[in-house]
Structure 1
Amino acid sequence: MLNDASRFSPAAKRVILLTGFDPFGGDMQNPSWLIAQALHGQRIAGHVVIAAQLPTVFDEALQHLQALVAAHQPALTLCLGQAGGRAALSLERIGININDARIADNRGHQPIDTPVVPGGPAAYFSTLPIKAMLRATLCAGVPCEVSQTAGTFVCNHVLYGLMHMLARGTGQAGARGGFVHVPWLPAQGTPHLPLRDMVRGIHTALWTAMLVQSDIALGAGATY
């Protein structure tokens, strides 16, 4: 299993870090990790994709992510998470500084109304060109949307924590990051998407994120 990215050290630190989570909430598999595994080792815009698995555990997930970012100095970090009930790849716009868990995480922790980072800003925006990624993914024939909320479970915890790390200078200068929620697999319920389509969509989104610095620079409109 590709859950220890420290064994993969390409030259010159030209890395895209792609993370997924382990299964949670009674599921036997998590599509976010299956997608990351499928793209491990791919070369995108001169960078190699390193896949790593995060635990679905508050605080522990961020500790693991911080170690990965510090070790690999990725130019871009994209974290993936499962969102049952969504019918499309959801490009998250914002992470908020709150943990409010509806269910317990994989270690039985269930924080209610606690900050991700005490004293941190109320929110961080993704630094990825989500509108450009949206258009490219839709053009590839994969359902996609811009999402205004990453929830308040471990996925939002990781998105906010990632953006806080990058804002404070963890990793290489100019590094960017964001988060995408993915639907269930067909075996998990409805709505769902086939794994091959989700892999294709994330591959397209990564290419776009590497080639486009920002939606503002591209002159991206508000179509979504």
Structure 2
Amino acid sequence: MTTDLLLTGFEPFDGAAVNESWEAVRRATSLLRSAGVAVEVLELPVEFGRAGNLLTAAVRKHRPSLVVAVGLAAGRTGITPERVAVNVRDARIPDNAGASPVDEQVVAGGPVGYFSTLPIKAMVAALDGVPGSVSQTAGTYVCNDVFYALQHLLARDGGLAGIRGGFVHVPAADALDTATTGRGLARMIEVALRTEVDASRAGGAEH
């Protein structure tokens, strides 16, 4: 069976009981499957290196048309697809394995960054009243680590040619309830599945 989508979220971290990224993935998956989308899901550990390795293995196993990794961005108020992944690890807090890398590369000798290959502006336009915007930074924690590992894989492995992928941050539940986040994420993915050329509309930022 052909896989349309590989969708990932993260386990809880930093003492939290839940991770809203995984809750959003669960809700979006139910909606997408009801719409006939063939979805594979994966809950990733909040661990530098290991999370990216598990995602890499899943991409090679399922060979989906689209890969969307989802993470939590506490402090944001909307759903934010990321524009660029950067080749740096710089942890403010330890990951779930206790690692706290500082100024390390995600991939030794790799490019400084990779752009998302998702239609991020079209995805934001599809939110239809749900708060969201294009984000210019995925941070330097495990979310960015996974994002960079994914884009590096898709750019360098010729056997995966044609697979598009990227990263979306979702807010904490106190900013946007997970049911709304899940609906918004599902809408964005539906647009991404059928849109290869992004919308030409403003999505930049002054800071």
Please give the TM-score of this superposition, normalised by the length of structure 1: 0.86
| 2:147 aligned residue | 159
**Distance of 1:15 and 1:44 partners within structure 2:** 14
Matched, 1:221 2:171: no
Is 1:194–2:177 an aligned residue pair? yes
Task: Select which of 53, 58, 61 maps to 1:63.
Answer: 53
CA distance in 1, matches of 2:25, 2:158: 22
Q: What SS does the corresponding residue of 2:81 show, helix, strand or coil?
A: strand
1:33 to 19, 22, 29: 22
User: Which amino acid in structure 2 is aligned with residue 120 of structure 1?
Assistant: G
Describe how 1:50-89 pairs up with structure 2 within 5 A: 50-89=40-79
The amino acid of 1:221's aligned partner reads R
Q: Deviations over 1:115-157 (max 9, x none)?
A: 00001000000001111111111x2x21001100000000000
Equivalent position amino acid for 2:169 in 1: H
- Structure 2, unmatched stretches of 5+, are none
Which deviates more, 116-125 or 170-179?
Answer: 170-179
Counterpart-to-counterpart distance in 1, 2:9 and 2:34 = 18
Give the corresponding residue for 1:148.
136
Change in CA separation of 1:66 and 1:145 when aligned onto 2, cut-off 3 Å: same
When residues 154 and 130 of structure 1 are mapped into structure 2, their CA distance, relative to the original with a 3 A threshold, is: same
Q: Is 1:109 the counterpart of 2:99 in the alignment?
A: yes
Q: What amino acid is the match of 1:214?
A: V
- 8 Å CA contact 2:29, 2:186 repeated in 1: no
Query: Highest relative contact order (Cα 8 Å, sep 6+), 1 or 2?
Result: 2
Specify the code of the residue in structure 2 equivalent to 1:200.
R
CA RMSD of the aligned region, Å?
1.6
Separation in 2, partners of 1:177, 1:26: 29
Q: 2 CA distance for matches of 1:23 and 1:14?
A: 27
Check whether the contact 1:20–1:36 (CA below 8 A) recurs between aligned residues. Answer: yes
Shift of 1:171: 5.9
| Corresponding residue of 1:18 | 7
Aligned partners of 2:34, 2:64: CA distance in 1, in Å?
Answer: 13
Q: 1:29 to 1:172 in 2, by over 3 A?
A: same
Structure (1/2) with the larger strand percentage: 1
**TM-fit CA distance, 1:40:** 3.0
3-state SS in 2 of match to 1:78: strand
Distance 1:223 1:122 in 2: 22
Unmatched 5+ stretches in structure 1: 1-10, 187-191
Deviation at 1:193, TM superposition (A): 0.4
Structure 1 residues 207, 105: closer, same or farther in 2, change over 3 A?
Answer: same
Distance 2:3 2:37 in 1: 5
